[in-house]
Amino acid sequence: MPTLFHDADLELNLAGTHQHVEFLLDRGLNAENGVLLVGGAAGDFSTMTLDERVRVTEAAVQASDNRIGVVMGAQTTSTRELVKLACAAQRVGAEFIQVSPPFYFTHTEADLSDFFRAGAEAADVGLVIYNTHWISAGVSLELVEKLAEIPNVVGLKWTSPFGLEMTFERVLIGFA
């Protein structure tokens, strides 16, 4: 979902968020065919404060009224902030968080495993791991296997440039 702002002051337009959720649900989006991703890249996570990210997620959860799952975008470079986002997602009723490898710095797979595990252990929400190959080291099949052992890792959002170490098909074959 895009995050809606008021043009005049760039404050969150939470009433508009409610309307947008209703619009999507009225036109057929439901728990059988989708989820609402709030505060992801297209949802302007990088331009919002942590509090704003929580408030827009809470607005989407309230508007959805348990008719569809809500995923809170939890992209961050900070393990501490990831833990706060996971706890906030649980507190406001989001079922899942979407977590990408921390951007800006290169990390080892052990670093990434620790980062994702911290988010998983912080709250009772499902994690959707988002491999963002353009801003982090590639996530190997071995790391995906380790992450799949974490009970609340529920999904993998995969990107990979053609010809690199792992393709989406290999992931599907390994975990289907």
130 is catalytic: yes
Task: State the amino acid at position 166 in one-letter form.
Answer: M
Given the residues 84, 104, 130, 146, select the one marked as catalytic. Answer: 130
Residue 55 CA: distances (Å) to CA of 70, 135, 174? 13, 27, 37
Is 157 a residue of the active site?
A: yes
Q: Among the options 84, 104, 146, 157, which is catalytic?
A: 157
SS3 30: coil
User: Rounded to an integer, what distance in angstroms lies between the CA atom of residue 79 and that of residue 148?
Assistant: 20
Among residues 81, 91, 96, which one has the least CA distance to residue 36?
96
* 3-class state of residue 10 by DSSP: coil
The CB density around residue 136, as the number of other CB atoms within 10 Å, is 18
Catalytic machinery residues: 130, 157
